Structure 1
Amino acid sequence: MKIKYRIPTDHIVLRNLTMPKNINANGNIFGGWIISQIDIGGAILAKEISGGKVTTVCMKNVTFIEPILSGDLLDCYGRCIKIGNTSITINIQIWIKKLCSKPFGKYYCATKAQVVYVAIDRYGNKRNLLPMSII
């Protein structure tokens, strides 16, 4: 029987291999490290959209759905859902491919979040975004 998995449709913005140095006391990848990957991936997309520097304003609705283990391949997918005068809101999904544990090759969504970034100038002040299309 062939197993079917749902595949993400958003843009891949970051790919990383989880490492033993990032595990918590339970043996899973530490949630703080996962949040850092969410922030990095979202910032990459926000920078592309804004054409410059951005800073993180807030993370909303961070949901840890499934555990992530050392040796899993982490794919970070992002989708812009809103562009304001100075802000950009990005939905992020963390997908995992099992490379070192069973079921080998399983691909699943492990974490979701929404991150708001603000475009800033070289002095760290908010800057207006020109009308633009969503990537």
Structure 2
Amino acid sequence: MSGSSPLGPATPPSDKELVLKVIPLPADTNGNGDIFGGWVMAQVDLAGSVIPARHVNGRMATVAVKEFIFKQPVRVGDILSFYACVTHIGRTSITVQVEVFAERHRAQGQFVKVTEATVTYVAIDDNGRPRPIEKRA
């Protein structure tokens, strides 16, 4: 895992690919005024699917979230950067590690790790059944 202390400044990972950048808006907040965790989870799912899409060459579905850790709250106006890498390719599935870093609204260029997750996607056919992933040369 990348970064430093769970509460202090962090460094985005050099061993993962930047796959998504997004700024949460006021409509994405929970009752505490922070960004709703479900919104963050949806963004992680989207970000995590970018690299597997290159391997699957067709439809895929999220089948598991092995681990999801919220380290810091996400706030309105943060610039979120999502980094991902494939950790395993099976016969029909691909597992991806996603790390999310925030540049706080008033501290651009300084990163804080806010979330990380391990997500598994499965290649599916037109009937929604698992199908083999073609091996790359």
TM-score by length of 1: 0.87
Amino acid across the alignment from 2:82: C
Structure 2 unmatched runs, 5+: 1-8
Q: Which consecutive aligned stretches of 4+ in structure 1 deviate over 4 angstroms post-superposition?
A: none
Counterpart residue number, 1:105: 109
Partners of 2:114 and 2:85 in 1: how far apart? 17
SS at match of 1:46: helix
Partners of 1:105 and 1:27 in 2: how far apart? 23
Amino acid across the alignment from 1:11: E
Counterpart residue number, 2:85: 79
SS at match of 1:75: strand
Q: Which moved more, 1:46-55 or 1:29-38?
A: 46-55
Partners of 2:17 and 2:75 in 1: how far apart? 23
From 13, 22, 26, the equivalent of 1:8 is: 13
Structure 1 unmatched runs, 5+: none
From 126, 130, 134, the equivalent of 1:126 is: 130
TM-score by length of 2: 0.86
Counterpart residue number, 1:37: 43
Partners of 2:124 and 2:53 in 1: how far apart? 10
**For residues 80-133 of structure 1, what are the alpha-carbon distances to aligned partners after superposition, in whole Å with 9 as ceiling and x for unaligned?**
0000000000001111111x23x4432121100000100012221211012237
Cα contact 2:12–2:101 (8 A) shared by 1: no
Residue 18 (str. 1) matches residue 30 (str. 2): no
Q: Which moved more, 1:110-119 or 1:121-130?
A: 121-130
How large is the Cα RMSD of the aligned pairs?
A: 1.5
